[in-house]
Chain A
Amino acid sequence: DTAVSQTPKYLVTQMGNDKSIKCEQNLGHDTMYWYKQDSKKFLKIMFSYNNKELIINETVPNRFSPKSPDKAHLNLHINSLELGDSAVYFCASSRPRGDEAFFGQGTRLTVV
């Protein structure tokens, strides 16, 4: 069983479109995250949810909106996609403070 699973793995779309990435974890963790990895491999946190409540919201354009229907799911919706949104997006989950995060396989988003 995959601990943290993301769909889709690859996403190619045109500028201006709206797309969603789904994430599910079966580890029973309360905290979930979205990270963005750019072309230089730099990883930056975007959002964090704890038990469906938003606790971290870094400086991310309003076009990005996370949704957590329950503590096992954290989806990312992106409106009006731009070329600069092209990146790999990772979902992760963890137990509370101090513990490691478990990562999904990533979603490679390419905006053309």
Chain B
Amino acid sequence: AQSVTQLGSHVSVSEGALVLLRCNYSSSVPPYLFWYVQYPNQGLQLLLKYTSAATLVKGINGFEAEFKKSETSFHLTKPSAHMSDAAEYFCAVRGLGNEKLTFGTGTRLTIIP
């Protein structure tokens, strides 16, 4: 079975600072990994996905994530935080041949002016 663990339910960074949101996965088969963002009262929007091509994945809004098999990690980063990045971020995993997308518990990102 696949699962993901997001470390830190709340992360606060200053505007212009580095954003780092942590995600570790557990999967018995090569996983597909995703980061989604949820703005208040909205649905989930895909930021980026890893599907076994390049290990460094670039997404929308300046976000990127690196797949590290040795560390079973897929951390999300952005070099410079913007006020509009304040939202809830979810890491998700799907195993090959598995229809189910399993989410982590989410990390609320707050940007300090």
Which residues of A pack against B, CB within 8 Å? Answer: 4, 31, 33, 40-45, 48, 50, 55-56, 90, 92, 94, 96-106
B51 CB-CB contact with A under 8 Å: yes
In angstroms, Cα B46 to Cα A102, docked, is 8
Interface residues on B, range: 20 to 34
Decide if A56 touches B106 in the complex (CB within 8 Å). no
B69 CB-CB contact with A under 8 Å: no
In angstroms, Cα B100 to Cα A50, docked, is 11
CB-CB under 8 A from A48, the residues of chain B are 99-100
Given A43-B90, A100-B34, are A56 and B43 also a contact pair (CB < 8 Å)? no
Decide if B43 touches A43 in the complex (CB within 8 Å). no
B105 CB-CB contact with A under 8 Å: yes
Chain B residue with the shortest CB-CB distance to A6: B43
- Top 9 A-B residue pairs of the complex, sorted by shortest distance between their CB atoms: A103-B43, A43-B103, A103-B44, A105-B43, A98-B32, A41-B106, A100-B46, A101-B101, A100-B49
Decide if A97 touches B100 in the complex (CB within 8 Å). no
Listed A/B pairs (5) with beta-carbon separation below 8 Å? A41-B88, A45-B101, A56-B99, A100-B46, A100-B101
B5 CB-CB contact with A under 8 Å: no
Q: Return A106 CB to nearest CB of chain B, in Å.
A: 5
Selected contact of A42 from candidates B99, B100, B105, CB within 8 Å:
B105
CB-CB under 8 A from A98, the residues of chain B are 32, 51, 94, 96
Interface bits B43-58 vs A (CB < 8 Å: 1, else 0): 1111001010000000
Decide if A106 touches B94 in the complex (CB within 8 Å). no
CB-CB under 8 A from A55, the residues of chain B are 99
In angstroms, Cα B34 to Cα A40, docked, is 20
In angstroms, Cα B42 to Cα A4, docked, is 13
Chain B residue with the shortest CB-CB distance to A106: B43
CB-CB under 8 A from B94, the residues of chain A are 97-98
CB-CB under 8 A from B88, the residues of chain A are 41
Interface bits B11-52 vs A (CB < 8 Å: 1, else 0): 000000000000000000000101010100111111001010
